[in-house]
Amino acid sequence: MTDHDTTPSPTLSRRAALTGLGVAGAVAGTATLAAPAIAQGVQDWKMVTAWPKNLPGPGVAAQMLADRITALSGGRIRVKLYAAGELVPGRGVFDAVSEGTAELYHAVPSYWGSKSKGILLFGSQPFGLRADEQVGWLAHGGGQALYDEMYARFGLKPFLCGNSGPQMAGWFRKEINTVDDLKGLRFRTTGLASEMCSRLGMAVQAMGGRDMFQALQSGALDAGEFIGPWTDSALGYYQVAKHYYWPGVGEPSSAEECGVNLAAYEALPDDLKQAVAYACESLYNPVWTEYTTKHAQALKQLVEDQGVMLKKMPDDVLVAMGNAAGEVIADLREDSDDLVKRIVESFLSYRVSIADYMMYADNGQMNARALDYTYG
């Protein structure tokens, strides 16, 4: 875990500690914990988010997290969710929690590059880690200690609490046939993908999901990516841009995070620290697998019912993107901040190790599954 966290970090230790809380009783909201909750006092925490309320994907996940912290704490921490703009703007949640306006937020690390470029690696990396690899780096490759060290600078305790899985390359109003077609293209993206695209001559713009729809509709944007089929279809991008490109190499996965005010977190007794930590950790797989399942369903509907043209980005364009991404990572390795350099080296070391293995493991299985044979 972190220098600021005196509780055990391994998953089994968390679960063992939570057994002491009576997890089943906490989730069910039983009366067993009611008396201790009253005796020890109830804390009302505000969660601010970067999303519209109940937006399919991240908005839904944020509410799940608020509910789970409340349940696992036995009601001793009551979390109330505020959607983007209700208490603070969506892109203001990091500062709001850092300053103590709210106790925690739900967003993505990809939004905080202005704080430090090193933060961006904890969310997604162009040509980087998949969802399982991302949490593997943090839990088993030394990433969490660096994540904690970086966020402590801002008075925050960070946790990953979900992942969108592989994102799409985006919605384009016109076809992309060569690298030259990208030059001058007004494109919405975020995080390190923004820097990759800028190096290819794209005019990158940062904006929220709903603003992206309006910009595509008005012609202020030529293209943009947000998340993937499930969330994208809910926002209606297929109505204003019919070319839907894959793969989303800018974000092979995109981790969602919970940032907790560090002073508020450290003031908690150990069992409530564990409740907050486990609420985040235990949502990672449910959130990721819900995205994956509903992305698959939504993509089929977009193509069959909405006339979306699903297209693969040409290989020469992908190679150009890979080279641009490599330049971005090379620059980060030379950053003036020693912590940023240590984060990059840790990420690269894990990426090399896991990529070598995946050639024989997941890649091998997926390639075999795609062969032409009769099944079922």
> Bridge partners of 223?
172, 187
Cα dihedral across residues 91, 97, 99, 100: positive or negative = positive
Residues tagged in the binding site annotation for substrate: 167, 188, 225, 251
Residues in the chain: 376
Locate all alpha helices (DSSP H) within the chain, ordered by sequence: 11-21, 23-28, 34-40, 58-72, 93-98, 117-120, 131-140, 143-152, 192-198, 209-218, 229-235, 262-266, 270-306, 315-333, 338-358, 362-369
How far is it, in rounded angstroms, from Cα 149 to Cα 165? 26
Residue 108 is given by DSSP the state -
> Bridge partners of 49?
106
Instruction: List the one residue out of 48, 59, 12 whose CA is nearest residue 162.
Output: 59
Amino acid at 128: G
Amino acid at 345: E
> Bridge partners of 205?
188
Angle between helices 338-358 and 315-333 (to 10 degrees): 140
Cα dihedral across residues 151, 152, 155, 161: positive or negative = positive
Q: How does strand 170-172 pair with strand 243-246?
A: antiparallel
Residues tagged in the binding site annotation for Na(+): 226
159 HSE (CA, 13 A, CB side)? 28
DSSP labels, 160-204: EEEE--SPP-EEESS---SGGGGTT-EEE--THHHHHHHTTT-EE
> Bridge partners of 163?
255
DSSP labels, 243-284: EEEE--TT-S--EEEEEEEHHHHHTS-HHHHHHHHHHHHHHH
Residues tagged in the binding site annotation: 167, 188, 225-226, 251
